[in-house]
Structure 1
Amino acid sequence: MGRKQLYTESELLDVTKRLVLNHGYDGFHLKMLSEHLPGARSTIYQYYANKEEIVAACMKRVISNVYDKVSKVDESDAMGALQDVLAIYVEESKLHQLLGDANKINANNSEAAARDLAFVENAHLDLKAQLVRLIEQAQQAGMLRKEFPLPVLVGTFFHLFNTPNMLEVPPAQWSRLLFDMWVGGARGR
Structure 2
Amino acid sequence: MGRKQSFTETELLDTTKQLVLEHGYDGFHLKLLSQHLSGARSTIYQYYANKEEIVAACMKRVMSAVLDKALAIDEAEPMDALEQLLLVYVEESALHQLLGNASKINTANSSAAARDLEYIEAGHQTLKIQLSRLFERAQQNKDLRQDIPLPVLIGVFFNLIDTPNMLNIPTPAWGKLLFQMWIGGAKS
TM-score normalized with structure 1 length: 0.94
| 1:167 and 2:167 are equivalent in the alignment | yes
CA–CA separation in structure 1 for the residues paired with 2:137 and 2:50:
44
Partner in structure 2 of residue 53 of structure 1: 53
Amino acid aligned to 1:135: F
CA–CA separation in structure 1 for the residues paired with 2:98 and 2:162:
12
CA–CA separation in structure 2 for the residues paired with 1:14 and 1:51:
14
Shift of 1:5: 4.2
CA–CA separation in structure 1 for the residues paired with 2:149 and 2:139:
10
Runs of 4 or more consecutive aligned structure 1 residues displaced over 4 Å after TM superposition: none
CA–CA separation in structure 1 for the residues paired with 2:62 and 2:157:
19
Identity %: 65
CA–CA separation in structure 2 for the residues paired with 1:5 and 1:137:
51
Shift of 1:36: 0.8
| 1:151 and 2:151 are equivalent in the alignment | yes
Count of residue pairs the alignment pairs up: 185
Shift of 1:147: 1.4
CA–CA separation in structure 1 for the residues paired with 2:7 and 2:153:
43
Report SS of the residue matched to 1:187: coil
CA–CA separation in structure 2 for the residues paired with 1:5 and 1:115:
27
TM-score normalized with structure 2 length: 0.95
Partner in structure 1 of residue 63 of structure 2: 63
1:41-98 deviations in whole A, cap 9, x for unaligned? 1100000000000000000000110100111000000000000111111111111111
Partner in structure 1 of residue 25 of structure 2: 25
CA–CA separation in structure 2 for the residues paired with 1:155 and 1:122:
21
What does 1:67-78 correspond to in 2, within 5 Å?
67-78=67-78
1:7-62 deviations in whole A, cap 9, x for unaligned? 11111000000000110001000000011112221100000000000000000000
Q: What root-mean-square deviation, in Å, do the aligned CA atoms of Structure 1 and Structure 2 show?
A: 1.2
